[in-house]
Structure 1
Amino acid sequence: MKNLILVFLIFTTLSIQAQQKSGAQQFWDSLKQHCGKAYQGEVTQGITDDFKNGALIMHVKSCDDGTIRIPFFVGENRSRTWVLTFKNNRILLKHDHRHEDGTEDKVTQYGGMTTNSGQAGIQIFPADQQTVDMLPTAAGNVWWITIDKDLFSYNLRRIGSERVFTVKFNLTNPVATPKAPWGWKE
């Protein structure tokens, strides 16, 4: 009987702790489960010529306590990395763009911070002031990332325009990890 009570207390404590995690923390924990893995994706909305030049691969390459870096490859183009930073129950999304020699592109580090803790399966990032100052036309940009057990999606919508972009990645089928993104040292 004592063992049964002990098991019940442990289960109840773990259940309460899981319920106390914010949407942002649950999202973060889900994403961290994919550290070191790469997945192939496809554009499902807003196909542009830039994304027709080879396989689309995301690689959850680097996971530190407060930062997750996800290079996004388009064929041989290794210029893009999504950088997510977790702080104060919010998540910041930045886009790190590099040239082949590793130097920063002139348009880089744009993105936004979630306005609340979000939900376990979705985080929404409206354009921040740094983005608006750099790219005034991006003032209406809203990015969002979704994740569940089968799918990761990266999305962009420019409010007030027809611009929309979605790329989805199958999380049930890891692929070979690609070379390092431009600017990274192995």
Structure 2
Amino acid sequence: MNHKLVIIMLFLLTVCFTSTALAMEGDDNPIDKAFATDINGAVNTVEMNYVAGKYMQAWKAEMDNVAAAIKKEYSYDEDKAGIDNYTTAYEKVADAAGQVEWLNWSNLNENPKYRSFGTGAASASLFAKAQIYKQATFNLLNTYQGRSGSEPEKCSYTFTYSGKGAELTRLRENQ
């Protein structure tokens, strides 16, 4: 088995087993609030793909913003590189989670070169990636807030997301 694949699998297992509760507690955030109506209101494949893509992009951007905030706390490039390595690793895990979700929507009896996929594969894959980015964001927030020690106000973080979800009504108007 490929050494890199083993590392990614171990990282994914660590993420799944050590931090699930943290993301579950994080449902009270501006991203999930903004997307709740769109996620529940998407009625066809095009809408689901659109909403899932925007949701994934929002969580990826928030992860990057938290990472940038943490990096400002460090003086040394080596420390900042550790944060960059962390986000890069999560990007790889998100890609792997997305690929695995595609498999869940595929006909595994077909040759992978010619395999067919269900219409929900794209949105399911994007939502899987979004969940990884969401988890990474909350893990980083936990680290960032832990940096403050006895001074929580020193490392408080405010979500940068200020959008209105995927704004399905706009998509519907343009179709």
More strand per residue: 1
The TM-score range, normalised by the shorter chain, is: under 0.3
More helix per residue: 2
TM-score, structure 2 normalization: 0.24
Larger relative contact order (CA 8 Å, sep ≥ 6): 2
TM-score, structure 1 normalization: 0.23
